Amino acid sequence: MSGKQQKNEAYDIRSVALYCRVSTDEQAREGVSLDEQQERLKAYCRAMGWTEQVQLFVDDGYSAKNLDRPELKRLLQAVKSGNVSRIMVTKLDRMSRRLLDLLNLIDMFQNCEVSFVSISESFDTNTPSGRLTLQVLGAVAEFERERIRERVFENMFHAATTGKWLTQSPYGYDLLDKSLVINDKEADIVRRVYDLYLNEGLGFYSIAKRLNEEGIPSRQRKEWSIRAIKLMLTNPAYKGTLVWNRIDSSKSKRKDKDESEWVNVEDCLPVIIEKPIWESVQRRKGQTSMAPRAQTSPHLLGGMLRCGNCGSGMSIGFSGSPSKRYRVYRCSANKNKGTCTSKQYRADLVEEWFKDGLLQIVGDTSGILMIMAKEAAIKSDRDQLEQKANTAKARYKRKIEAYTSGLIELDDLNEEKARLDQILSGLEKIDHGEAESIDMGQLQKELNGKVNNIISAINLLPVEQAKGIIQTLIQYMIVHGDEDIEIKLQPL
């Protein structure tokens, strides 16, 4: 028997694959049923006189926006294994709505000598005219899909700009007629989480652990996780701001879009967390956090102390004779590299210097510390405005392109320009020393409150908990010499 005859016989025994697909939305909207698709495909086989064995591949409840479908994957495996001679669908979009995916699939089918037949469009990819028709129809289908996506985006954009909530309500709110309403019981938990993070210095893990130990369930009646706490502490909805179009979900892996593409609507939602508190939490989150090992260190200033000679961190160690060992703080560059000549300091003495420094902050009458706190607050405000300015510039550039293409009106462009000018004006005022006056009395009160809180924590709480509270006010400390310790404050 010749090789060509063997090949023909192998082709003849391969089966016809009938592929059917429906998504739940399509079935409800168009009445497209899987049974109807199967009957139409089998009837077409009988009419064409195709007597090959039939294999059925059915994806129930899957969208055609990508190829991640179990039965489609099984079909493609059958094609690669050489078990299929022809693939049939009732309509082109049963296989895919994306032209690129269709062309890639058909290219694979052709390489495996498998024809592709769509009975509604009446073409067979075994013929040149069928392949041409397929590409034209695929282009039209993708164009229509993009048009639908644009219309949906426009509708959702309008809803977002009017303060309508478009997804599941976040923890702390209930959803009523597309509007958020505060859930008092959950809102109390949200406020407590912010307080634990901002005023007690707990991290995401510690907060989740505490809520779980107290038996407080999350929305889904599950245990709290690090991710859930992080999302709560970064959700602008709690300060009354709606942010939409933040996530790109068009790909299989979701990711954040560029900030210039976000839709921000200020003061349109019920407020659970006041803006100053929310902003303070974001500032703390953006600051370099202590290493996890240092956080659990039983030494009060571990992970927060720096060498005044070279700026390196100082680690804990032990010195003295075997019978009279004592703790010391030692420059890491001196200890590990020998590149610093700084001496080591007894840990108990350094910790006493630190406590004395805290008392001096409370009793400060010269105003130097208040000036430092004010400068830190102004710098923090400037950093935030600069970040907003960069985002606003990118957004304005996109709006210019959209206006040039005729996609938006001049009023929209002018509105975006006004927002940019307002941010740049605020930035310019800070640079020229014309920033809004800071309430020094309130600043002093807040500073004293935090210092007293730290002093109480040091005296009453375990070291690990006290360190978290210290971090709410203090970035780090620098040892310059005996009884000379510099304390760097966090922005209040």
- Domain boundary, last residue among 146, 178, 197: 146
Which residues constitute the domain of residue 132? 3-146
Cα dist from 46 to 13, 39, 49, 154, 241, whole Å: 17, 11, 5, 46, 61
Residues 360 and 469 in one domain: yes
Residue (of 355, 366, 327) closest to 477 by Cα position: 355
Regarding predicted confidence, which is higher, 404 or 5?
404
Q: Residue 358 and residue 379: Cα distance in Å, rounded?
A: 23
Cα dist from 120 to 88, 239, 286, 354, whole Å: 11, 53, 57, 81
- Which string of DSSP letters, residue by residue, matches 384-434? HHHHHHHHHHHHHHHHHHHHHTTSS-HHHHHHHHHHHHHHHHHHHHHHTT-
Task: Tell me whether residue 297 is in a domain.
Answer: no
Q: Residue 175 and residue 181: Cα distance in Å, rounded?
A: 6
**Sign of the torsion angle spanned by Cα atoms 102, 104, 110, 113:** negative
Task: Tell me whether residue 59 is in a domain.
Answer: yes
Residues 340 and 473 in one domain: yes
Between 13-17, 217-221, 410-414, 471-475, the lowest mean confidence (pLDDT) is in 471-475
**Whether the predicted pLDDT of 16 surpasses 70:** yes
**Whether the predicted pLDDT of 212 surpasses 50:** yes
What's residue 3's pLDDT? Answer: 45
Residues 37 and 183 in one domain: no
Residues 325 and 467 in one domain: yes
Task: Tell me whether residue 448 is in a domain.
Answer: yes
What's residue 376's pLDDT? Answer: 67
- Taking only the tens place, the pLDDT of each residue in 57-69 is 999 888 888 888 9
- Taking only the tens place, the pLDDT of each residue in 140-152 is 766 766 676 666 6
Residues 99 and 189 in one domain: no
- Domain boundary, last residue among 90, 120, 146: 146
Strands 123-124 and 115-118: antiparallel
What's residue 56's pLDDT? Answer: 93
Those residues with Cβ within 8 angstroms of residue 105's Cβ, 6 or more apart along the chain or in another chain: 67, 76, 95, 96, 116
- Domain boundary, last residue among 284, 313, 329: 284
Residues 346 and 467 in one domain: yes
Task: Tell me whether residue 293 is in a domain.
Answer: no
User: Which residue among the candidates 2, 15, 23, 249 is catalytic per the annotation?
Assistant: 23
380 in helix, strand or coil?
A: helix
Task: Tell me whether residue 295 is in a domain.
Answer: no
Cα dist from 110 to 73, 113, 135, 356, whole Å: 17, 5, 14, 81
The secondary structure element, H or E, covering residue 349 is helix 347-362
CATH number assigned to the domain comprising residue 172 = 3.90.1750.20
Residues 253 and 200 in one domain: yes
Residues 345 and 465 in one domain: yes
- Taking only the tens place, the pLDDT of each residue in 241-273 is 888 766 766 555 667 776 666 677 778 889 999
pLDDT band at 17 (very low <50, low <70, confident <90, very high): very high
CB atoms within 10 A of CB 146: 10
Which amino acid, residue 393?
K
Residues 133 and 247 in one domain: no
Those residues with Cβ within 8 angstroms of residue 342's Cβ, 6 or more apart along the chain or in another chain: 307, 308, 309, 310, 331, 333, 334
Residues 335 and 474 in one domain: yes
206 is catalytic: no
Residues 35 and 168 in one domain: no
CB atoms within 10 A of CB 355: 15
Which amino acid, residue 402?
A
CATH number assigned to the domain comprising residue 30 = 3.40.50.1390
- Taking only the tens place, the pLDDT of each residue in 310-319 is 888 888 888 8
Residues 189 and 136 in one domain: no
DSSP E strands in 203-320: the ranges are: 242-244, 247-248, 255-256, 263-265, 305-307, 314-319
Query: How many domains does one find in the chain?
Result: 3
What's residue 6's pLDDT? Answer: 41
Decide: 15 and 55 in contact? Cβ < 8 Å. Answer: yes
Task: Tell me whether residue 154 is in a domain.
Answer: no
